[in-house]
Structure 1
Amino acid sequence: MSVPGKPKLNWVHRNNQRIGVAVADSPNGPWKRSDSPVLDISSDENSHDALMTSNPSVCQMADGKILMVYKAVGKKNKLPAGGPVVHMVAIADSPVGPFKKYPDPIFTFEGETFPAEDPYIWYQDGKYRAIVKRMKHIGHKRIFSLVHYDSEDGIKWDQGKYFEISDRTVVWENGKTTKFEHLERPQVFMENGEPLALLCAADSLDVNNVRHSFNIQIPLKITKE
């Protein structure tokens, strides 16, 4: 049974998620969706993505191939939740696949079963880069933040030089600050190969404990080192 005011997770829906692809000649459509997933679960019951695949982020690689980082859930932990929840890499010659999966999970932390979510990846200045929602577990609490990873090849990822990007605090033009309940689903707006703004979903609770959700755009100033 669900608890009033607390969302109930539909495990059947969650565990049947797969990554699909749709193709169109124009953003206005018409779109043609593939009847089968472009990235399905693995048949090996011990694989990191034996239960579900979802939340893909893709970018074009330096050699023209398509790099995908996706959320994967295995069956090693008790069902229906399964787990651990990790991120994996897959590469294809085309956005419609087929994708070759790589076996090692990324964005991991020792002893944590769900350390990160919602990555956004892009290629800039000779490196693949990712902004990821970090979920740090302290006791029974989860502390959310945004963090940065770099990769030379898109397969092996390391923490960026400036790893911690945001603790969910935003400084407004007038100098005031707001710390949101959530600051997540990061996307980077690019123009002429340069990042101009960080786009995020955010929410806050008002005095009546009503949740308000919205999108915000944070201008970026890039300093070359």
Structure 2
Amino acid sequence: MIRLMIADDDHLVRTGIRTILTSAGDIEVVAEAGDGRAAVEAARRHRPDIALVDIRMPVLDGLVALVELRRLNPAPKVIMLTTFAVDDYVDRALRGGASGFVLKDSTPEELIGAVRSVADDHAYLSPKVTRRVVDGFAAASPDPDATRLVAGLTAAERDILALLAEGLRNSTIAERTHMTEATIRTYVSRILTKLGCANRVQAAILAHRTGLLTPDDTGR
């Protein structure tokens, strides 16, 4: 069972999200909060696996709460929830260690899928958000610092990073490379450590910033 916390200052929104997620059967909402500070305290008390956090909240906004949530021990994985696919929000959230970004107009199936994906150690970006992120990388010049970090990887690690940056799951990467999932997990862990990334999303962003793959490689 996936233990989840919902943080949103709109009670009706929280109720709707809770109804959708609990209908999945494998998700349990263990806590709710109406502001960022309450979200951090609720996470400390209830220890959810995942926190679904609205960006625009009183007391502490979701982006500040994200940073504090990621400092907890154990720290929940965080999916940011918002009405706006604003580039600055996306960038700050992903740099802050968010494992996912979902828009409030997402379908119930997408919301449930996002939670399950993040619970399974995979990053999730709403398709609308992904398009903005990829377009942003296409317009930017390669980042020298990112390029230097990726150059420190072995050839095999760079190959795995490129596949990871396409948004592929470990099982799919294993099929593509003819390795076991356990081997891929080891590679991914080593890559994250070498790159100083908190999660797969940050590693994927870094890969894009080096020009390691083009927007067309994402298949989107």
- If the length of structure 1 is used for normalisation, what is the TM-score? 0.26
Larger Cα-atom Rg: 1
**Between Structure 1 and Structure 2, which shows a larger proportion of helix residues?**
2
- If the length of structure 2 is used for normalisation, what is the TM-score? 0.26
Which structure ranks higher in relative contact order (CA pairs < 8 Å, sequence separation ≥ 6)?
2
